A and B are shown apart, each in its own frame.
Chain A
């Protein structure tokens, strides 16, 4: 029957075709990025099982021991706490904040941008004024004020970081949605009788997703660095809890005597942000059927 033919032939273009092309051409740098990010996610998920010691367990006899020791692979800090254990816990905390905040700001910004493009008029003016306000405001100062008033908690930190960079998504999403509406395909779907929700979610969003993904890969490292900065200033994650930025901040005092305390988390920040950029860029190209 004709219907069976259609469905059978359509499916290889979907998932199987995608994984095949994935295996066929993935540059080494991207493969590394995927591997690194997978490792980071695995570490974040299984941090409780992976850490050799508790993050507050002090081994006072081997304080500031250098990396490579049998007991402490990445050495210990000034209180004799295992750097590897703290690093694993930091990856978990920082990743939760960065992922949570990136998704939050992408969803929030894109929604506002689409709303502006859909309703125009007053709504659009309001969104643009808010976006300008957000862009003009020094975010670090605002965060400091909020955290100083309400105290620091994980939830608050994620929500606060979620406000970082939303104005970029809003502007991009608005601009792209307006131009998509002026182009044929969105107008054509409207003419088919589609509801605005369908036009925006099924057609415009996938078409502008590549640009938004690139924007996300830019925001993600920035949020990690922002959290590091706040933790460094003592307003982010509070001790005894630890995060990558927190570790860098406290390790700074021992930079000359025990550089590993700071270098280990700094290396993780750098490699993670690099991997995100590489994978994001590659993903954008892969998700576009016209470039395949």
Chain B
């Protein structure tokens, strides 16, 4: 199956400046990321804040241009942001935002805003638009009497439902969700995630779900990519990665999720803060915090390598172990 969206070696460098006349230092927000998502699949992207998840999401949608590498949607390269071609493509790919109140125009009723993509892309004749909006509102679980409300008159969860309804109005093929539930209450989170998952399954949408919350990602994603300082360090199917994480960073992330009924012993707790992305550590970016770090980790950057069927990791140790296990098997 051909991937719906494909990214090859994406690169995005931000320049940060210290002080008025200070020197600029490059921050590699996204550094050589490749991924592919097929129709109907959900790819979860997890990582700490500052790991480049959101930038990657925006690059997949073509909002931020890639400085190197390319994004292909349905096999065609992404047009330049702001062109008519790019605008027309918005009907096929949509974004769900972290802060729904900021993403909605506070002066328009939610009906007007949910119907806006239909109006922009002239998709449905005017007289049928109201029916489509009502259908969308019902699909995301908004009551008909909330149609005339303004965004500030809704609760956080309802606002996010309105944003999701708006994103789905044009029947997109790809939905990028950038931390869609991290601003919501835990009880509301589950509802919104369920809405997203149901709608995705019904409509066969490909979804990129960006989050720092592993519980949510585990719940919704088919495949998970873990990012650390702008790079993917491990990628595998959701069940596999949570059952047996390989990369030390993934191990630490997975073991940081509390499991009810299990003692806290044996958890791998990371020391220190994520490093400043402007001063990326040499070699493997994770080595200053990695309990298994060896000399090679400080000097050479590990490449993302296949470590099993459908799973990859960027770690010298994991790759070495995998290699040694294979040699053991061959001997036996």
Contacts and interface: CB of A to CB of B under 8 A. Distances in A.
Contact of A1 (B95, B121, B131, B148): B131
Interface residues of A, number: 27
Interface string B84-101: 000111110011010101
Given A289-B150, A290-B152, A2 B106 contact: no
Given A2-B135, A184-B99, A206-B107, A193 B150 contact: no
Contact of B94 (A191, A288, A290): A191
B103 interface: yes
Interface in A1-28: 1-3, 5-7, 9-10, 12-13
Interface in A216-253: none
B29 interface: no
A193 B87 contact: yes
Contacts of A13: 109, 148
A7 B130 contact: yes
Contacts of B116: 189, 192, 194
B166 interface: yes
A3 B130 contact: yes
Interface string B152-175: 100000000000001000100000
Contacts of A203: 105, 107-108
A40 to B, nearest CB: 30
A130 interface: no
B63 A9 contact: no
A71 interface: no
B44 interface: no
Contacts of A288: 107
Contacts, number: 89
Given A13-B148, A194-B120, A290-B150, A5 B166 contact: no
B133 A192 contact: no
A193 B117 contact: yes
B220 interface: no
Given A3-B130, A5-B134, A9-B145, A189 B105 contact: yes
B145 A2 contact: no
A188 interface: yes
Nearest to B176: A191
B144 interface: yes
B104 A192 contact: no
A183 interface: yes
A185 B103 contact: yes
Best-buried of B87, B121, B148, B170 by chain A (most CB within 10 Å):
B148
Interface string B106-124: 1111010000110011000
B156 to A, nearest CB: 14
B102 interface: yes
A193 B119 CA distance: 10
Given A192-B120, A193-B87, A10 B107 contact: no
Contacts of A188: 95, 97, 103-104
B130 A6 contact: yes
B166 A2 contact: no
A64 to B, nearest CB: 56
B109 A5 contact: no
Nearest to B121: A193
A24 B104 CA distance: 29
Interface in B123-147: 128, 130-131, 133-135, 138, 144-145, 147
A194 B87 contact: yes
A191 B90 contact: yes
A256 interface: no
B130 A185 contact: no
Contacts of B101: 184
B73 to A, nearest CB: 14
B87 A6 contact: no
A6 B105 CA distance: 20
Interface in A184-219: 184-185, 188-189, 191-195, 198, 203, 206-207
Contacts of A290: 106, 150, 152
B120 A193 contact: yes
30 contacts: A2-B131, A2-B144, A3-B134, A5-B134, A9-B145, A9-B148, A10-B109, A12-B148, A183-B102, A184-B97, A184-B103, A185-B104, A188-B104, A191-B94, A192-B116, A192-B120, A192-B166, A193-B87, A193-B88, A193-B89, A193-B90, A193-B170, A194-B87, A195-B120, A203-B108, A207-B106, A207-B107, A289-B106, A289-B152, A290-B150
Which 3 A-B pairs give the minimum distances between C-beta atoms?
A193-B90, A184-B102, A3-B131
Given A192-B120, A194-B116, A288-B107, 16 more contacts: A1-B131, A3-B134, A5-B144, A6-B130, A9-B147, A184-B101, A188-B97, A188-B104, A192-B90, A192-B166, A193-B91, A194-B120, A195-B87, A195-B120, A207-B106, A289-B150
